[in-house]
Structure 1
Amino acid sequence: MSAERLLELARRAGVTVATAESCTGGLIAGAITEVPGSSDIFDRGFVTYSNAAKTEMLGVDPALIEAHGAVSEEVASAMAEGALARSGAALAVSVTGIAGPGGSEHKPEGRVCFGLARTGAETQVETVEFGAKGRHAVRAATVAHALELLIRALS
């Protein structure tokens, strides 16, 4: 399982991790903390489902949300940077997306924006189109991808 690999790599690097989650509602933090010993590397998780929570807990500028929408690489970047700044972690991942059902022409179901912030490095962002495969499948794919991003950052 990738959470076990993350634990191994983060321990080896002496790095702690934080998460900032919207569409997954804490599932990434849950996957990490499912692994025994995860307290060695997991600092905290922010579940910021609403725009107000993104602003209050992570410091995301409301004007950024207004200009780009909550599901955007700009907001994903700000979420990851906010999690990094508001935690003791050296590495933070963020996710914001449309798990479904629903979506729109401009923001379809299955679109998820990811942010990866690391102390001393430029924040990385990417958008993945998982497709309209159902809420559960989109959320599961998002968790797996977020863990892979963390693993790649430590490899």
Structure 2
Amino acid sequence: MSDSAKNQKTQFYDYHVAAGGKMVPFAGYLMPVQYPAGIMQEHLHTRNNAGLFDVSHMGQVLVTGVGVATALEKLMPVDFDALAINQQTYATFTLPNGGILDDLIVTRWAEDTYFLVVNAASKDQDIEHLKSYLSDFTITHLDQHSLIALQGAKA
């Protein structure tokens, strides 16, 4: 079976290929590992300026409901009520024994609405973790959405 048959493609796949991206399997997707300019030039450009990254393979989850901040705080050591609307934070999913399940980014979109970006390789486990502890809230996997990250010193 070919890589394209067993791996998904993001909405930006054709753009990556047209731009000369070397596509490799990553977390169930075909993702660009580098472009013709080379990894070092891409790295330095992003470190000194900014770069756009297709992170559509990552899990995007919307969690909503009255009191959801308090419920999320039982899963992550974060004061979610302190986050302003459109502010984000780096967080970790914790386990009942105090261990860490995974890391993620959480953005407060509205009073009782949070947008989570979880790692691609563990998105199914992370979404199940949310559902098992937050059954009183609406959890929506935004699996038809794309996501671009602007990163770097001038982002």
Q: TM-score, normalised by structure 2?
A: 0.25
More strand by share: 2
Which structure would you say has the larger Rg?
2
Q: TM-score, normalised by structure 1?
A: 0.25
More helix by share: 1
Structure number with higher relative contact order (C-alpha < 8 Å, ≥ 6 residues apart): 2
